Amino acid sequence: MGGHGGDQGLAELAGQAREALVREIELSGAFAGDTRWREAFAAVPRHLFVPIYHVVGLGGYERRWGEHPDPAARERWLRGAYADEPLATRLRDGVLLSSSSQPSLMAAMLVALRPGDGDRVLEIGTGTGYNAALLAHRLGDENVVTIDLDPDITESARRHLDAAGHHPVVVTGDGARGVPEHAPYDRIIATCALPAIPGAWLTQCRAGGRIVTPFATGVAALDVRGPHHAEGRFLATPAYFVPLRGAPRPMAQPPHLAGLPRRARESELFRFLLALTRGSLDPEEACALWEREGMPTRERYGLTVGGERAWAWLDDPEGPYVWPLPESGRPLPGGG
């Protein structure tokens, strides 16, 4: 099993754990709509991409790794690597820089991407390289480009990908600017949160293509209709991603909810509305709308990007409930 001294017991455990993870993802319904992703998750060994990770506990972060001298500790690491949970994979001064997303959420996003055979995909946020490996397994190394701002992360991802037998193009740079030298792309998928949809993504994704990206505390699937126009709705699932470094931080949620009804204060869907509208509605206005509209689920919300305008909406992009978002036609500030 990779660099673990031919430990046959751990190799067998890795296979069993991977099979169990695939079954768990399947039971979640994430593969519905494109079961070909099941084969990718069954084939790509996640443990090769998370040799070190940290588990949140009462004491903060617990460090585990595959080369630990204690066999029991190696087994705990391996079982954790195949849990259907997000894994913190890189910290700096106590700040989370990179993670491996929850596999069932990754599957849902990949299904929503709807790639066809031979499609070229740009991934924003390389992370461990695991998502890029899934894409490369499905579409071929030559059709996958992935970018991350941190050279340590991209170098580590290259090593992980090489260990798994995949060699997509890995670029160190600002994901908000895309990778124009390898454009155009049929699909763009982001694994980090942004406060706006960068205009560079729209110009680098062909008309008829698709962009799947975290936004607020959800995931938007946008159909690209031209170099300055994309529109689509949110997936049903909540999603919390590490922000894209180099881009402005999303606005914090309003802190004063004490006067609202308990059902709103404790509702994750209500907090999604607050995150999506970003101060266009105060909490009382948002609560009134949310209750009047029957506590809408994520699928009723959407995003439209047109030229230098962008807006979020409920039910209809031209309807009564629309909220302006930061301009998306310009590149976001960040490194190069």
Known catalytic residues are: 98
Q: Which long-range contacts (CB under 8 A, 24 or more apart) does 219-224 make?
A: 219/105, 219/108, 219/109, 219/112, 220/302, 220/303, 221/112, 221/113, 222/197, 222/303, 222/305
Half-sphere exposure of 167 (CA within 13 A, CB side): 2
Phi, psi of 324 (to 5 degrees): -65, 145
Half-sphere exposure of 76 (CA within 13 A, CB side): 13
Q: In the structure encoding, which two tokens stand for residue 44, read together?
A: 């790509």
Q: In the structure encoding, which two tokens stand for residue 249, read together?
A: 């931080």
Residue type present at position 164: A
Residue 89 to residue 63: CA distance in whole angstroms: 9
Contact (Cβ atoms closer than 8 angstroms) between residue 273 and residue 234: no
Contact (Cβ atoms closer than 8 angstroms) between residue 46 and residue 132: no
Contact (Cβ atoms closer than 8 angstroms) between residue 270 and residue 264: yes
Q: In the structure encoding, which two tokens stand for residue 229, read together?
A: 């126009």
